[in-house]
Structure 1
Amino acid sequence: MTSCSAMESTACIKFSLMSLIWIIVLMNEMHGYRACLETERTALLEIKSFFISISDIRYDDQILPSWVSEDDGMPSDCCDNWEGVKCNATTRRVMQLSLHHTQRLNYFERTSASLPINMSLLHPFEELQSLDLSDNWFTGICEKRAYDGFGSLKELKILNLGFNFFDDSILPYLNTLTSLTTLILNFNSIEGSRTKQGIANLRYLQVLDLSENHNITSGSLTRLGLTNLTNLKKLDLGSCGITTLQGLANLTNLQVLDLSYNQNLTALGRPQNLR
């Protein structure tokens, strides 16, 4: 190896440092660590621990088994090898997170348990655009911080909360997710009777599924803030128990409206642009 002269020492040191950096990068890639940011990798493992903690102990090995840590002796790329996780190809930050049917309970626990989802676990994912929490029997939402519009999940566009037990208590939280374009709330316990603003702030919303929330009354459509959602293109109100469409005439961009299985429905104020 050629030694460095005094005149070349500075350049040689810079070259050595750059070489060391590249060696570290290459070693990390070889061992699968280049994936998501370490903060997001840690956050994903905390989410796994959360689901294990609220599930029946018999299912521990079945909950997100591909999400492994260094302690497991099987480090892997959390962007490419972890189920339900998709990352931005450039920034390697988590963009999509699917946690559908991740909680595992027996039948009796599902029907009696009170299980809020801790949304604080999702704060590290600053580029998250799509989140699926469907079919987990959640009954509510909790956070370490109040719903103060601090900007968590500010990039979120698609949120699926279907097949849970959410009621009107989640609406103040949902109303802060102002970037949403798609919101799935089917098969929950939304009524719209205990809210003043509903989801009126979600002005970018294009798709809203409220089907199978059986106690949404006709008056609740206004209390839910639907008249403010003028960008809506698809609205599913199937099996909601409504009897009139009065209050929805402002939805001039609406293209698809599902009103199936609503008895005694009268089309008052029906939007004119429907196909």
Structure 2
Amino acid sequence: MHGYKGCLETERTALLEIKSFFISVGDIGYDDKILPSWVGEDDGMPSDCCDDWEGVKCNATTRRVMQLSLTYTERLNYYDRTSASLLNMSLFHPFEELQSLNLSDNWFRGFYENKAYDSFGSLKQLKILDLGCNFFNDSILPYLNTLTSLTTLILYSNSIEGSGTMQGLANLRYLQVLDLSWNENITSGSLTRLGLANLTNLKELDLRGCGITTSQGLADLPNLKTLDLRDCGITTIQGLAKLKNLEALDLSWNNINGSLESQGLADLPNLKILDLRDCGMTTIQGKIFK
């Protein structure tokens, strides 16, 4: 009933196709280091993909794949990553119950799909997507904007700018965690074009190391609890007083002018953690924490 050795036959086959893809885009000589536990009958060592394969977690009842962790799976020469490839997202369509997908540290530069697949509505149960430490740019935003069930999106250390997008991530209304840190060309204006104002359920936002200089575009996030703005080059933070649910704020390594009170931080009733290391402020006036 559950197919081959406990996991569904169709999904076992799909997993082996993923392995073949990573081998095809990796450098020669890394074949035996790419997902070595993913073996089938042709390898002479068949095993249960739900229980024995690294990075795979299945639903205990349906035996469908729920989580895939493929971090640092595309093996390239460490000193020459100019051959970074496109990621075939069609490979993940067979996994109807996939909720978490980690593709970080693979140095992909974009997406593509086989024409036989309809991208809209695929991966409709996906809640967590980690694409950190790749070479992705704004070209992936229209695809990400179709993954409307996402609650966590990790995009740190990519090349996202938000300068040429129409909707950005505006459709991701269930998103609670968004990590855009170390996308150095994201500016204050980009935040508006990325559709952040629509993400009203957002609770955690990480903008470390981005190119924003003001907090423009952040005031319309009523449920935000954690905001990381360290090392952004920020000079003014007026507008954050509207974030009444904010509990943790990191403003370290900036160049902020004025006092804490003049920046409106006295109007944040739930603020519990405030990091001001090397932020440029020279005076602290008033009673900030009540």
Q: TM-score, normalised by structure 2?
A: 0.81
* 1:266 corresponds to 2:266: no
% identity of equivalent residues = 75
CA-based RMSD of the aligned residues comes to: 1.7
The one of 36, 47, 52 equivalent to 2:7 is 36
Aligned-partner SS, 2:29: helix
Query: C-alpha deviations, 1:128-149, integer Å up to 9, x for none?
Result: 0000000000000001149966
Give the structure with the higher percent helix: 1
Distance in 2, Cα, partners of 1:66 & 1:76:
9
Aligned-partner SS, 1:214: coil
Does the 8 Å contact 1:232/1:251 carry over to 2? Answer: yes
4+ runs deviating over 4 angstroms: 146-149
1:152 aligned residue: 122
| CA positional deviation for 1:245 | 1.3
Does the 8 Å contact 2:27/2:76 carry over to 1? Answer: yes
2:66 aligned residue: 95
- Report the AA paired with residue 274 of structure 1: L
2:202 aligned residue: 232
Indicate the larger mover: 226-235 or 141-150. Answer: 141-150
| CA positional deviation for 1:126 | 0.5
The within-5 A match list for 1:81-230 is 81-110=52-81, 112-145=82-115, 150-230=120-200
Query: C-alpha deviations, 1:172-204, integer Å up to 9, x for none?
Result: 000000000000000000000010100000000
Indicate the larger mover: 88-97 or 146-155. Answer: 146-155
| CA positional deviation for 1:247 | 2.0
Distance in 2, Cα, partners of 1:146 & 1:39:
17
Distance in 1, Cα, partners of 2:216 & 2:117:
31
* 1:53 corresponds to 2:24: yes
Q: TM-score, normalised by structure 1?
A: 0.86
- Report the AA paired with residue 228 of structure 2: D
* 1:242 corresponds to 2:212: yes
**Residues 64 and 147 of structure 1: is their aligned pair in 2 closer, same or farther, counting only changes over 3 Å?**
closer
Aligned-partner SS, 2:188: coil
Gap runs ≥5 in structure 1: 1-24
Q: How many residues align?
A: 245
Larger radius of gyration: 1
- Report the AA paired with residue 196 of structure 2: L
| CA positional deviation for 1:36 | 1.7
Gap runs ≥5 in structure 2: 248-290
Aligned-partner SS, 1:109: coil
| CA positional deviation for 1:108 | 4.1
Query: C-alpha deviations, 1:8-44, integer Å up to 9, x for none?
Result: xxxxxxxxxxxxxxxxx7xx99xxx332211100000
Distance in 2, Cα, partners of 1:261 & 1:158:
26
Indicate the larger mover: 244-253 or 146-155. Answer: 146-155
Aligned-partner SS, 1:96: strand
Distance in 2, Cα, partners of 1:198 & 1:37:
36
